Copies of this chain bind each other. A is one copy, B any other.
Amino acid sequence: MPYLEDIMKKIEHEEIVSSRNCVMIHAMDILGGKWRLPILWKLYQNKTMRYNELKRSLVGITNIMLTRSLQSLEENGLVNRVELNQIPPKVEYSLTENCIELVPALETIYNWGRDRMIGQSE
C-alpha cells in the first residue's frame, strides 16, 4: 500500500519528467533511426507480416537492418514476435497495444511527408 510520502515522490517525479526535454529525447531514442517508423507503418497497414514479407515491402532494407530494427522495437515493447514451430520456419510480426497509441502520430507524419514529397516535384 502506498504511503503519502510515496505518492508525493511519484508526483514530483512526474513533474520533472514532464518539464524537461528528456521525454522527446527518450521517444526519439526508440523511434529514431532510418527504418523503425517505416516498419511500424507497414505493420500498421498489414496487421501481421512475416519476416520476408516485411523485407520485400521495405525496398532497400538489408537483413541486418531489418533484424536489428525488429529486435529493438520488440525490446521496447512496440512489436510482437510470434515464432511458429514448424517447417519451414514461420515468424509473424505485429504491433503491440502499446504501439497503437502511436498510430495517429504515424499517420500525421506520413501525410506530412507525402505532401511535401509530392510538392517538391512540381
Any chain B CB within 8 A of the CB of A109? yes
CB atoms of A31 and B117 under 8 A apart: no
Please tell me how many copies of the chain the complex holds. 2
List residues of chain B with CB within 8 A of the CB of A98. Answer: 116
Q: How many residues of A contact B (CB 8 A)?
A: 46
Shortest C-beta distance, A1 to chain B (Å), equals: 14
Q: Tell me the bound Cα distance from A17 to B120 in angstroms.
A: 12
Asked if B38 contacts A118 (CB within 8 A), the reply is no
- A residues contacting B by CB (< 8 A) are 10, 13-14, 17-18, 20-28, 30-38, 41-42, 57-60, 98, 101-102, 104-105, 108-118, 121
Closest 10 CB pairs of A and B: A27-B113, A105-B108, A21-B38, A24-B38, A105-B105, A23-B113, A24-B37, A23-B114, A104-B108, A27-B109
